[in-house]
Structure 1
Amino acid sequence: MKNTFVETGNVKRFLSALSGLEARGAQEACLVVVDGEPGLGKSTTLKHWVAQNNCIYLRAKKEWKPGWFANELLDSIRAEQPHSFERKYAKCLQELAMRQNSALMERRTFGLVIDEADHISSKATILETIRDISDMIELPTILVGMGKVNEHLKRFPQVLSRVSQKVKFEKLDVTDVRRLVDGRCEVKVADDLVRFVHQASGGYNREVLEAIASIERFGLRFEAGDEGVTVRDMAGQPLLENRHTGKKIVVPEAF
């Protein structure tokens, strides 16, 4: 499978939200919430953005406390970790501000991404620490969750007021599935098989990629016609696993 990052509709909405963040009115409104079901490509999108812009990616832990969060943040940027929380906090601000200034000089966006944010989105202490850091240096901070973050933040208006952009990742439409197939698959795939992949996958990135891997394995040892591998070509072949039943979905005779 090609190691290509594909810009789906979800990715484009995320990038549009970042543009909106840069054009925000209140400078302290630096939080972005990216929400959606598992398997829709949120983590892949954010990790790609982090790598492209030399940003910071952390995965929230269920038992995170402010000190633990600060330790992981400092560890991720290979900075020394003072003993007291007050010094850890000051060190975080110093290091992040330095990196943000460098990004401004290079005309790129610098930010902090916190994945699995459902673990912390109902905990006032850690949320306040993240908000304080974001406020102090006007740092774009992206909270990535699986459907609960926006609901949880309603309990904390002082944090919710700092959210300037919200992005909900949706299931892929057939056009996005075609984009993924074209961008990632090593073999040509016919339209009817793309439509079946869309239906069988339910629009989830994870399942589409599983289907692409199956098509590729088949197609590399099969001489397809000009239109590419079709439903008829793969009839009877396992395509992907149903996430609800765990059973293999097999390509039908026709679609």
Structure 2
Amino acid sequence: MNKIIVAGSLHYDIMLAAHHRPEKGETVMGSGCSYKFGGKGGNQAVAAARAGVPVSFIGAVGDDAQGEFLLAALREAGVDSTSVAILAGQPSGMSVAISDAEGDYGAVVVSNANLHIDAAAVGEEVWRDAGLLVLQNEVPPRVNLQLAQQAKQRGIAVCINAAPARDIEPELAECVQLLIVNAVEARDMCQIAVNDLASACEAAQALAQRFPQVIVTAGEHGLALCEQGSNAFSIAAIPVKLVSTHGAGDCFVGVLSQSLLAGCRLVEAANNANQAAAAHVSRPLPV
């Protein structure tokens, strides 16, 4: 059990920098533009691979220049892309994100090829030596369910980063060992507003009634974690000078996954991921 499988989205990201994000009907003059590899699935796979673990990726791109860019970025990071389908006639997924002067961002995602991942076409070889399957919510629910069921049948642990927020059907929940959500996603799943570490612990405790292990990230406050049958507890954020929050959650999930596969307990893995995310948000965005 020496590799991670990440299944999910790949997006060609257009990154814009501006003083603030536009209001309805407003035109804002930007200060920078860059093009980068993205998608929650892709970002988490790359973060895990860079943390030092073999990673295989399940996904789909179009037969376009953006798809070639995304595949090249996976390979450059050391991620096995043999299970990424290249779909004729389909455009690759993309997003446009605006980062403001305070380091926060907003984004619009167009899924395109990510909506057409065929879980049934995944070959048996991709499951060999896998110890963890990592999922997110940027692909259709049927894809996550089919892959999670296949992983469970093989005794492979399943982690889902339930972002963006949506209901997790009972059949999928039965396969999940670890749930990772941010404050908004936690609120949507358990109706507990998360605005500090105490409320993050409350939400983690509530969600641990449904999932064996839960992590609730609470932005600048830190995170809470809970294992079923135990009390939740928190880990404070590491003070840094914020540059941009873009991709921080994906960095967290990737490093956490690598640490878990390396044999770390959940709290140790969460500490490692917390440190990695702090370093990530304090780095300048590419220009």
Structure with the higher fraction of residues in helix conformation: 1
* Fold shared, TM-score > 0.5 on shorter chain: no
The normalised TM-score by structure 1 is 0.29
Structure with the higher fraction of residues in strand conformation: 2
The normalised TM-score by structure 2 is 0.26
- In our comparison, the structure showing a higher alpha carbon Rg is 1
**Quick one: higher RCO (CA 8 Å, sep 6+), 1 or 2?**
1
